[in-house]
Structure 1
Amino acid sequence: MKAVHFGAGNIGRGFIGLLLSNAGYEVTFVARNERKIQLLQQQKQYSVTLANEARDTEIVNNVTAISGKNKAAVAAAIATADMVTTAVGVSALKQIAESIAAGVELRLSGHNLRPLHIIACENAISGSSLLKRRVYEHLPAEWHEKADSCIAFPDTAVDRIVPVQEHDDPLKVTVEPYFEWIVDRSSMIEGYREIDGIKYVDSLEPYIERKLFTVNTGHCTAAYHGYLEGYDTIQEAMGDTKIKAEISGVLGETGKLLTSKYHWDKKKHEKYIQKMMVRFTNPRLSDHVVRVGRSPIRKLSLNDRLVRPALQAHRLGIPIPYLTSAIAAALLFDYDQDEEAVLLQAAIRRSGIHDVIASYMGIPQKHAIHQKIVDSYGALKESYAIAR
């Protein structure tokens, strides 16, 4: 079995590539980093260490790599693959779509009609569906019907904390012990081979929102409040009782939303919340607040981890003071090494906070929570004496 994975970063190697290799796939990474490409081609293996007390280490075998610039090689790999996965960031899907389309066209023109599943393992709702639209934009129309018959793009939810890290060995990666990879089996082609470590479900949305509204919402709340307090890492921020209370408050609000919307057992969901809080405090990982808080424009968008649960909770009549505070903290994330943070602060200075909330978050000024966000933003700004 052959798998092609776009992205040889820490998530690609420490999570997706690891599970695929363990399932018996030969994994070909499509990468940009020439040093990593060369090492993967030469060594055909790398090590993954768990951030647990024993520091358990596993060798990942049967791997290689090709350069994303070598479009002919990428297309050839996809033409014979049994699975294609990505971990490049949702904004980069459009950059790899043309290469995937070329591989699909080569596959179909060579009469390879074996089932192929293409799964975008990104922090996004309906990431694979988005990738399909991007791919079909580059795939000639005459191939669309045939592609629909043998190629599927099942959506997925993935969860594993893998911070930025440096090792003497560029391929070595350290990951947290916990992981979750859930795939929508209702979108898969019959007869697919299940992979150990993946959970297949008929309805993905509850799992996506549980992860997005708990892990991602809680994590970025720690990052944005931690940044305002001057902490360097999430682990340091989690040691601050005030920040920990903010995170607990946020997850209490999203928890009420999720248990109401999906009729879940409240005690079970509370256990899930506490498990996630423990993950954030893992002393064997050092995760920088600026990494977790990066790309605030994306994280403040209408369907992402802050605004989406805030709007849904509001519609259900759930008070959201902690969510509005987290949104306000994100609006104050002014890290000058983050392109989106710089753009966001420039927009606030140029157009004002009301316009930014309306244009970047999709919350019009007449909406009930618009002013709540403005008030929370003003209070936080004054509290931290941030001059704008």
Structure 2
Amino acid sequence: MKKAIQFGAGNIGRGFIGALLAEAGYHVVFADVNEAVIDKINADGTYTVHVMDVTCREEKITNISGVNSTTDAVLEEITQAEVITTAVGLVVLPRIAPAIAKGITMRMERGITDCLNIIACENAIKASSQLKAAVYEILDEKGKAYADQYVGFPDCSVDRIVPPVKSENFIDVVVENYYEWNVEQASFKGEIPAIKGMNLADNLMAYIERKLFTLNTGHAITSYLGYLKGYHTVDESIGDEKIYETVKAAMQESGAGLIEKYGFDREAHMAYIEKIIGRFRNHYLEDDVARVGREPLRKLSATDRLVKPTMTAVGYGLPVEHLLIGIGAALHYDNAADQQSVELQAKIKENGVRAAFSEISGVTDAAILDKVVEKYDNIKAYL
């Protein structure tokens, strides 16, 4: 039977990629450090994905098992797998690289010439390439030559809202109906696996930035403004007319940059924006603004959802007033339970908004820095 390994048995791993792999006929091995989740997966051999949207349904996921990703048992699984996917978070990716490198070495030592494709399904640009770099740092020259021939690392973009909703069975998961999984076709090694729901893409960067500049940008700004206004969930926040108007305008500004960069059809992209905002209104998901807004240092970095769309639009001479409001709101994010938020506020207190933002984002354009400070100082006017 076909085997796939899903590193990360959290909500996204179970509710999105792992579920698609199981439905495509793979035996899915969930690899994680959470012993309670792994034990429950092995005991039950099944869980339920609750699709909560305009219409609701349940999907039973079967033919699964679990393994502790820090033990040698995961190496044997890697020797038998056709596909490896991840949903562990960008920070954790380098931590699973040693196991993957050891598994690749074992495949080489056993003379396995079946191809293995490893797809990092993270909320980041070129996550598979980043994982590949971490794996190749560990492989010796023979291992690298083997991987060059038999191991693919296709980059991808993923899009599905999977909030941490509690259910009676703690491995069941709640998801929205909508999802996208776009995978770079040219980077596969060997025969491309047939997985329903996986879209093979030629121009992956266009898909990545469309999602980053639209869903991620709008989601973040909704959350930061909602947090400042005392809302708890994304649907509550976007239900506020003033927040809605700011978020939509910011997404249109980021969209204008995308249209210039990739030649997207303007009408189609505006319709895509409306679809994304509609997803924010899904009250079934109860998506916590603190969850969506977490790790503000990462979200304010040069390549992420606030600064990159802003600077892309600036590069084409386009307006960015509402994107800058979003940045100003993010700089106000003060959550003692979020370590990056604590660090952010410490930087602002020590160096001031202008210097702190410039350090975090890499932005040196004086006019943009002035406007960020202005939006930060006047943030209450936008709430």
Q: Which TM-score tier does this pair reach, normalised by the shorter chain?
A: over 0.9
CA apart distance, 1:79 = 1.2
Q: What's the counterpart of residue 283 of structure 1?
A: 283
Identify the residue that residue 129 of structure 2 maps to in structure 1. 129
Once the two structures are superposed, residues 357-388 of structure 1 have per-residue CA deviations (whole angstroms, 9 ceiling, x without a partner) of 22110012x4431211111111116878xxxx
Distance (Å, rounded) in 2 between the aligned partners of 1:284 and 1:382: 30
Q: Using a 3 Å threshold, how does the CA distance of structure 1 residues 318 and 62 change in structure 2: closer, same or farther?
A: same
1:206 aligns with 2:206: yes
SS at match of 1:284: helix
Q: Distance in 1 between matches of 2:190 and 2:29?
A: 25
Number of the residue aligned with 2:335: 335
Q: Which runs of structure 2 are paired with 1:285-324 in the superposition (5 Å)?
A: 285-324=285-324
C-alpha separation between the residues in 1 aligned to 2:318 and 2:54? 40
Alpha-carbon distance in structure 1 between the residues aligned to 2:51 and 2:216: 21
Per the alignment, residue 83 of structure 2 pairs with: 83
Cα drift, residue 355 of structure 1: 1.7
Cα distance in 1, alignment partners of residues 74 and 226 from structure 2: 41
Render the CA deviation track for 1:27-69: whole Å, top value 9, x for unaligned: 0000122111111111111110100354310110110001122
- Alpha-carbon distance in 1 for matches of 2:184, 2:220: 26
Query: What is the rounded CA distance, in whole Å, between the counterparts of 2:312 and 2:382 in structure 1?
Result: 28
Matched, 1:262 2:262: yes
SS of 1:292 mapped into structure 2: helix
Give the structure 2 partner of residue 187 of structure 1. Answer: 187
Establish whether residue 59 from structure 1 lines up as the match of residue 63 from structure 2.
Answer: no
AA in 2 matched with 1:371: D
Q: Which residue of 1 aligns with 2:178?
A: 178
Corresponding pairs, count: 382
Instruction: Output the CA distance in 2 between the equivalents of 1:61 and 1:383.
Output: 48
Give yes or no for the alignment of 1:233 onto 2:233. yes
2:378 maps to which residue? 379
Partner of 2:12 in structure 1?
11
Q: Distance in 1 between matches of 2:80 and 2:382?
A: 58
CA distance in structure 1 between the aligned counterparts of 2:70 and 2:263, rounded to whole angstroms:
48
- Deviation (angstroms), 1:262: 1.3
Alignment of 1:69-108 (within 5 A): 69-70=70-71, 72-108=72-108
- Aligned partner letter, 1:114: D
In the alignment, the residues of structure 2 paired with residue 374 and residue 217 of structure 1 have an alpha-carbon distance, to the nearest angstrom, of: 19
User: What's the offset of the Cα at 1:142?
Assistant: 2.5
TM-score by length of 2: 0.97
CA distance in 2, matches of 1:99, 1:124: 21
SS of the residue 1:27 aligns to: strand
Say what the alpha-carbon RMSD is for the aligned residues.
Answer: 1.2
User: In 2, are the aligned partners of 1:332 and 1:381 still within 8 Å (CA)?
Assistant: no
SS at match of 1:138: coil
1:44 maps to a residue whose letter is: G
What does residue 222 of structure 1 align with? 222
State the secondary structure of the residue aligned to 1:28.
Answer: strand
1:381 & 1:32 partners in 2: Cα distance?
43
Aligned-residue offset at 1:228: 0.7
Which region of structure 1 is more displaced relative to structure 2, 186-195 or 283-292? 186-195
Matched, 1:346 2:346: yes
* Corresponding letter in the other structure for 1:166: K
SS in 2 for 1:66: strand
Counterpart residue type for residue 164 of structure 1: P
For 1:50, the equivalent position in structure 2 comes to: 51
- Letter matched to residue 375 of structure 1: E
Q: Is the 8 A contact 1:21 1:61 kept in 2?
A: yes
Deviations 1:132-186 (A, max 9, x none): 0011112223311111101010000000001111112011111000000000001
The answer for the alignment partner of 2:246 in structure 1 is: 246
- Larger mean Cα displacement after TM superposition, 297-306 or 370-379: 370-379
Secondary structure in structure 2 of the residue aligned to 1:134: helix
Q: Which residue of 1 aligns with 2:3?
A: 2
Provide the C-alpha distance between the structure 2 equivalents of 1:335 and 1:199, rounded to a whole number of angstroms: 37
The correspondence of residues 112-127 of structure 1 with structure 2, limited to 5 A, is: 112-127=112-127
Amino acid at match of 2:232: D
Aligned structure 1 segments of 4 or more residues deviating by more than 3 angstroms: 381-384
Q: Determine the C-alpha separation between the residues in 2 that align with 1:123 and 1:360.
A: 19
Q: Check whether the contact 2:150–2:190 (CA below 8 A) recurs between aligned residues.
A: no
In structure 2, runs of 5+ residues without a counterpart are: none
On the 8 A contact 1:217/1:306 being kept in 2, the answer is yes
Bigger mean CA offset, 163-172 vs 21-30: 163-172
- Distance in 2 (CA, whole Å) between partners of 1:192 and 1:68 is 26
Tell me how far 1:191 sits from its aligned partner.
2.1
* Structure 2 CA distance for aligned equivalents of residues 250 and 205 of structure 1: 21
Question: For the residues of structure 2 that align with 1:283 and 1:294, how far apart are their CA atoms?
Answer: 20
- Alpha carbons of structure 1 residues 157 and 134: separation in structure 2 relative to 1, 3 Å: same
